[in-house]
Amino acid sequence: LIAGFGTAAMVAAEQLEGDADHGRALAALLLDELASRQVRFSMVTADRNVVPGGLSIRIDGVDADHLCAALADKVQLSTGSACTSGQLRTSHVLEAMGFSMKSAAEVVRAFCHRYLEADDIRSAAAHIAAAVRQSAVATGEGLQ
């Protein structure tokens, strides 16, 4: 088992840079695809260092929990870290960053990794955009 773990660690180390570049490229593609579909969002992390492929975005006027539930069988999104799952209060991290309860409730997280390809990202963006439009219709948010 120790030798197997060592070999797995060597393989992971060899692929680390390529995986990071791939994740960053897919994350950028997801943002571009959402923008091209007129999804109003802002980056939570802005230009800060993040895990390559990791995204935290605020989608204006959309309840993140409802969005995640609506997309659960199509797109893997979350509203917080594993250590905060099941909690009803606002993320202490978003709170410390100055987010109000309302704006923190509009934040979703996604992770673009080695097992995803550009077509997966385009499909995810299409599903997210459709769910955001549906949410806007249901709540009247963003409708003129």
- Which residues are identified as catalytic? 83
Q: How far is the CA of 136 from the CAs of 37, 39, 44, 86, in angstroms? A: 14, 11, 21, 26
DSSP annotation of 108 reads E
Query: Which tokens belong to 13?
Result: 């180390």
Give the chain's largest Cα–Cα span. Answer: 62
